[in-house]
Amino acid sequence: MTECFKKISVFLVFLILLFAEPGFSADSKGLYYYNQKIKNNLTKFPTPMIGEIKVYKIRKTDTLLDIARSFSLGFAELKICNSGVDPWIPPEDEILVIPSEWILPECSFKGIVINIPEMRLYYFIPKTNSLYTFPIGLGMEDWQTPKGKFKVTGKKENPTWYVPKSIRSTMEEPKTVVPPGPDNPLGKYFLSLSRGYGIHGTNSPWSIGRLTTHGCIRLYPEDMEFFYRIANVGTTVEILYQPVKIGIKNNKLYIEVYNDIYGVVKNPVKETISLLGKLGYIDKVDIEKIKSALEEKSGLPVCISVVPATTSEKK
């Protein structure tokens, strides 16, 4: 990155901290609390935003995999917004952008919500006005994680993997059963879902933020251990496909764009502009900024407002 970009990144972080949405406050890694006002507006669209963009100076022994994990990010989301940086031997003292601000998906805002294109899980707990968010690994293109509504049907520590016949045929050394232990790709904790899928840990932490599973959802081992203890049987699971999210902060509109990883969206520019038109925002946004964000797919929120939205328009 150029010295100019480094300065811009630092300035961007300053602005975000200065004008941060007061409705959310961060606690430990992955945990956010929201106030009653935000809770009352969680059914609104555009949706609120959480977190903040950060920067990080690379140390001599760092790789992007290490940095992503330490900030609870997936490998892909860190790499995409820092294009051109060698992921294995990044230059020492280089300034990285840490993409730790997110527009919430348009969803039910209850239980577990997974947005496939951003490879991220949100867990909403309305009783405590809190939510957790974690990066995830998802199904390969030939084994896509399905959209739809599910429920957590069971919990298992140290699970045994009974390998489906369809997967055994793809293995170099086919196995019918993989016992608990370091060779088990399910990791130490498993939440079974309806329709035969699951949310689990992994014996390959570097697969988080990538398409590496046969349809299930993976978390970093440390995230899964924590998540396993707070997620209950019967919790609803909503799996969405939203490569483009539109959010609001301080009466300004933002757009956040991810790769259309399963090739679902035929014309993202047309669909996004059409959506803004239906919402009555089309004359309040910068079309060129929208097109640029859709082309870059950085996963970073981009302000697209020309005229701030009013309180009545937000409703």
Answer positive or negative: Cα dihedral of 309, 310, 313, 315.
positive
Considering only 54-63, 264-273, 294-303, which range has the smallest mean pLDDT?
264-273
Closest CA to 241 of 144, 164, 158: 144
Does 108 score more than 80 pLDDT? Answer: yes
Instruction: State how far the Cα of 108 lies from the Cα of 150, in Å rounded to an integer.
Output: 13
Q: Which residue pairs, CB below 8 angstroms and at least 24 apart, start in 273-280?
A: 275/246, 276/246, 279/45, 279/46, 280/313
Beta bridge partners of 256: 245
Task: Give the pLDDT band (50/70/90) at residue 175.
Answer: confident
Please give the pLDDT value at position 7: 44
Task: Give the pLDDT band (50/70/90) at residue 310.
Answer: low
The single-letter code of the amino acid at 131 is L
Task: Give the pLDDT band (50/70/90) at residue 278.
Answer: confident
Please give the pLDDT value at position 315: 42
Instruction: State how far the Cα of 213 lies from the Cα of 205, in Å rounded to an integer.
Output: 12
Please give the DSSP secondary-structure letter assigned to residue 105.
P
Please give the pLDDT value at position 31: 83
Q: What is the mean pLDDT of residues 11-17?
A: 42
CATH of 3-103, one of 3.20.10.10, 3.50.50.60, 3.10.350.10, 3.90.1150.10: 3.10.350.10
Strand ranges inside 27-110, DSSP E:
31-34, 49-51, 54-57, 95-98, 101-103
Does 28 score more than 70 pLDDT? Answer: no
Identify which has the larger pLDDT, 35 or 313.
35
Residues that are catalytic: 200, 216
Q: What is the mean pLDDT of residues 157-185?
A: 84
Q: What is the mean pLDDT of residues 70-75?
A: 92
Report yes or no: 108 and 238 within 8 Å, Cβ to Cβ: yes
93-105 pLDDT, tens per residue?
999 999 999 999 9
Q: For the chain, give every domain's residue range.
A: 3-103, 138-236, 248-314
Q: What is the mean pLDDT of residues 54-79?
A: 93
CATH of domain 138-236: 2.40.440.10
